[in-house]
Amino acid sequence: MQKISSGVKNLDSLIDSLYIGDNIVWEVDAGTSYDVFIQHFIKQSFHESQTIVYVSFNSSPQNVLSRIKDFMVPDYFILFDCFTSGKGKNDETFLKFYKNMPGLNIVRIEDPKNIDHFTHKINKIEESLPPGARYVFDSLTGMQDLWGNEDDTYKFFTYMCPRLYDLETVAYWILEKDAHSQKFKANLRHITQVVCELYSRREELYIKAHKLEGRPDREAFKPHCYEIKASDITISYPRKGLSREIGSRIKEARARLGMNQKELADKADVTPSFISQIENNQISPSLSSFLQIADALNIDPTELLQQDAGQKALPWHITRESIRQRLYEREGEYSIYSVVSNGDSSVYLTVINEGKTLKKHFLQHKKNEFIYVLSGEVSVKVEHNERHLRKGDSLYLKGSIPSEWRNTSRGEVDLLIFYT
């Protein structure tokens, strides 16, 4: 398969370049600077003396030309203006461009709402071009807005995509992902050769492939951060090794505290999907996000970063009450403190507030657990059996998880918990 460059070296490396015949659908969020990827593609095509056919539904000719003026090669550029008589509504502001039009090949589509008319015009141009021409359809979303429904847009795509493939072109199609139904996007993914998503999360930009026809490498299907500085695009590869262990350690710490992903996300001021991606080692958190998550877990960040191998463990450990670390607090109900956490075995102190009933266990795991009542009285339900415990009593759980704890005393109940 013949390959060409996208104009972005990092992108070429990530997706194994562009293949002749590729239709690339870009599913984009607002604020992701997707136009910079388009500009690099156009610039690279000019560098290779290949014609660019730019089909604009969302931008005026003035706007399109202003974005590529610094590297414009007029002999290799054709602009299909579907904006002026479409979204532009033949406004004089846009029509006056044609009174002093520069010496460029610009085709104004006078009735872009007429799909047959538009298709005929673009086919006529295609047939006159030599092999290797490249296309940019600036907005499938703009097409849908103008044509009124997804069905007509989908029918046009299902006609044009295979045609461009057979003509051995390469085409970019831009789609605002939140403006379309899941069914529409799924249908496009079925037909096209390449799908890349650009999205933002907490002021960071990500690129992720959803389809790469003919490419064996699966690395691009993982989210990768990208940065744009002075129009240069840098794509960062996920760090291997320790960074991939952080997600698992965050998940373990959260599970020990009985928190779900939404609870952790709310405490850390991030989204549940962001937590899910981190825990599944799909992305690595930024430093600020990592510290927020560690704070939400009430855990020392270094505990999440430490390598298990190569560390020399001391044969003793002291925890002072004044610096005892609170791992989790459900306001008004209970708190959990870490006494010792040493890989295979851990010791916690749980304090249940007066008059409170917990409808779940405070530590979610299936390990063996020994619980000692330091002060107060408490009732506990284990596998539908209820037992009453007083100061000095203990409970041993062999893989069982209590379904309820109820403070039956005046004041707090302190429980010392050992589990391995």
* DSSP sequence for 331-400: TTTEEEEEEEEETTEEEEEEEEPTT-EESS-SS---SEEEEEEEES-EEEEETTEEEEE-TT-EEEEES-
Q: What is the pLDDT of residue 348?
A: 82
- pLDDT, tens digit, for every residue of 174-222? 999 889 998 999 999 999 999 999 998 877 899 999 999 999 777 888 8
- DSSP assignment of 248-299: HHHHHHHHHTT--HHHHHHHHTS-HHHHHHHHTTSS---HHHHHHHHHHTT-
CB-CB contact of 45 with 52 (8 Å):
yes
Q: How far apart are CA 293 and CA 379, in angstroms?
A: 33
CA dihedral 149, 151, 154, 159 (to 10 degrees): -120
Looking at residue 387, its pLDDT comes to 94
Q: Which of 236, 255, 270 is the last residue of a domain?
A: 236
The Cα–Cα gap between 163 and 58 comes to 23
Helices 34-47, 61-68: inter-axial angle, 10-degree rounding:
70
The structure's pTM equals 0.60
Judge whether 121 lies within some domain. yes
Same domain (yes/no): 131, 224: yes
Tell me, letter by letter, the H, E, C secondary structure of 59-114: CCHHHHHHHHHHHCCHHHEEEEECCCCCCCCCCHHHHHHHHHCCCCEEEECCCCCC
Which residue reads 């610009």 in tokens?
106
Identify whether 200 is part of a domain.
Answer: yes
Amino acid symbol at 33:
S
Residues 300 and 229 in one domain: no
For residue 118, being part of any structural domain is answered with yes
| Residue 342 and residue 292 in one domain | no
Q: Are residues 93 and 178 in the same domain?
A: yes
What are the residue ranges of helices labelled H in 103-149?
A: 115-128, 140-147
Sign for the CA dihedral angle at 201, 207, 213, 215 comes to: negative
In Å, how far from its chain's centre is CA 171? 24
Residues 183 and 194 in one domain: yes
Statement to judge: residues 178 and 42 lie in one domain: yes
pLDDT of residue 113: 96
Distance CA 389, CA 299 (A): 30
Q: Is residue 311 part of a domain?
A: no
Q: What is the pLDDT of residue 218?
A: 77
What is the C-alpha separation between 92 and 178, in angstroms, rounded?
Answer: 31
Same-domain check for residues 229 and 367: no
| CATH of residue 253 | 1.10.260.40
The residue from 183, 214, 236 where one domain ends is 236
171, 176, 180, 186 alpha-carbon torsion, rounded to 10°: 50
What residues does 204 pair with on adjacent strands?
Answer: 201
pLDDT digits (tens, 9 = 90+) for 20-64: 999 999 999 989 999 999 999 999 999 999 999 999 999 999 999
Is the same domain home to 214 and 243? no
- Residues in the chain, pLDDT under 70: 1, 237-244, 282, 306-329, 331, 341-345, 364-367, 420
CA 157 – CA 138 distance, rounded (Å): 13
CATH of the domain at 399: 2.60.120.10
In angstroms, how far apart are the furthest CA atoms of the chain?
94
Consecutive H or E run containing 12 = helix 9-15
Distance between CA atoms of residues 288 and 286, nearest Å = 5
Complete DSSP assignment for 197-254: EEEEETTEEEEEEEEETT----GGGS-EEEEEETTEEEEEPPPPTHHHHHHHHHHHHH
- CA 42 to centroid of chain Cα atoms: 27
Domain end among 202, 236, 270: 236
Q: 169 and 43: one domain?
A: yes
- Let me know whether 387 and 417 are in one domain: yes
User: In the structure encoding, which two tokens stand for residue 153, read together?
Assistant: 């847009």
Single-letter residue type at 126: E
pLDDT of res. 329:
66
Same domain, 286 and 352: no
Domain that holds residue 383: 321-420
User: Domains in the chain: how many in total?
Assistant: 3
Check which CATH number belongs to the domain holding 35 and give it: 3.40.50.300
CA dist list (Å): 188 to 19, 91, 147, 175, 289: 18, 33, 17, 10, 34
Residue 278 CA neighbour count, 13 Å, CB half = 26
Asked, for residue 344, whether it belongs to a domain, the answer is: yes
Distance, CA of 55 to CA of 102 (rounded, Å): 18
DSSP state, 300?
Answer: -
Q: Could you tell me if 229 and 215 lie in one domain?
A: yes
